[in-house]
Amino acid sequence: MSDLSVFSLAGKRILVTGANTGIGQGIAVSVARAGGAVIGVGRSAMDDTAEKVAAVGGRFEAVAADLGDPAKAVAMLDRVWGESGPLDGLVNNAGIIRRADAVDLTEADWDDVMDINLKTVFRLCQSFSRRVLAEPGRRGKIVNIASVLSFQGGIRVASYTASKHGVLGLTRLLACEWASKGINVNGIAPGYIETNNTEALRADPDRSAAILGRIPAARWGRPDDIGDAAVFLLAPASDYMHGAVMPVDGGWLAR
């Protein structure tokens, strides 16, 4: 391999959940820029992502799915694999957040977050890996999107913090089970990124200033900051990485 080819995704098919906006969109565009074909999954329109992928010369296939229902998520992955061909990578990015004081958080808000952020992540990892393991010699790469709140507590986001701690542990567990079988499982822990999930924080002048004041890079992250890290974890350059969850946080956790 040439020096640059180890960072290429040419000829690879990568499924990215939550690709309609934010971090998922950034990952989709970065994958396309690296030469990969993107299968973007979400419950809302992904026209904007498709246009951005086309602008960098990439290929994009939009797949509608309700990721809040783990069974439907698995059926979607199986359908994609069966109808349009094997996948080389899976990026579990889709996630939601519910903000409330812990004493006020409802059971519905707990369950909704855990179903999408953790249960569906596990079920998609499971389905993807069953397919990979069924074909001798096939390799696969999984990238789970965790959070700096996989390492910290946060405030007013009990179900989100619990789910992201779960993603960290699950990533390590699956890596231990599958590393010797040709499947890399790693993760990314984004810091404070300019997305819909952080819109409420960025709209609060005091909270936004407090967050920005702690980030050594002195800026909020951008979706492509996460996208480019995902490309590394999907590409041959990371073949000896297993169970790693990389903070991409502008130095937040180092502070």
Q: Which domains does the chain have, with CATH numbers?
A: 5-254 (3.40.50.720)
List per-residue pLDDT tens for the chain, 255 residues long. 457 799 999 999 999 999 999 999 999 999 999 999 999 999 899 999 999 999 999 999 999 999 999 999 999 999 999 999 999 999 999 999 999 999 999 999 999 999 999 999 999 999 999 999 999 999 999 999 999 999 999 999 999 999 999 999 999 999 999 999 999 999 999 999 998 878 888 999 998 999 999 999 999 999 999 999 999 999 999 999 999 999 999 999 999
Catalytic residue among 60, 81, 128, 160: 160
DSSP per-residue string spanning 24-91: HHHHHHHHHHTT-EEEEEESS--HHHHHHHHHTT-EEEEEE--TTSHHHHHHHHHHHHHHH---SEEE
| pLDDT at residue 188, rounded to an integer | 98
Among the listed residues 161, 164, 183, the one whose alpha carbon sits nearest the alpha carbon of residue 121: 164
Q: Around Cβ 201, how many Cβ atoms within 10 Å?
A: 14
Report CA dihedral (20, 21, 22, 27) to the nearest 10 degrees.
Answer: 40
Strand partners, 17: 41
Cα–Cα distances in angstroms (integers) from residue 186 to residues 86, 148, 167, 172, in the given order: 20, 15, 10, 8
Residue type, 53: V
Q: How many residues does the chain have?
A: 255
Residue 200 · residue 99 · CB < 8 Å: yes
| 160 tagged catalytic | yes
Q: What angle do CA 109, 247, 60 make, to 5 degrees?
A: 75
Residue 62 · residue 28 · CB < 8 Å: no
Residue 67 · residue 73 · CB < 8 Å: yes
3-state SS assignment for residue 142: strand
Max Cα–Cα distance, the chain, nearest Å: 56
| pLDDT at residue 109, rounded to an integer | 97
| pLDDT at residue 2, rounded to an integer | 53
CA distance 47 to 161: 31
| pLDDT at residue 1, rounded to an integer | 47
Sign of CA dihedral 25, 225, 32, 96: negative
> CA neighbours within 13 Å on the CB side: how many for 79?
11
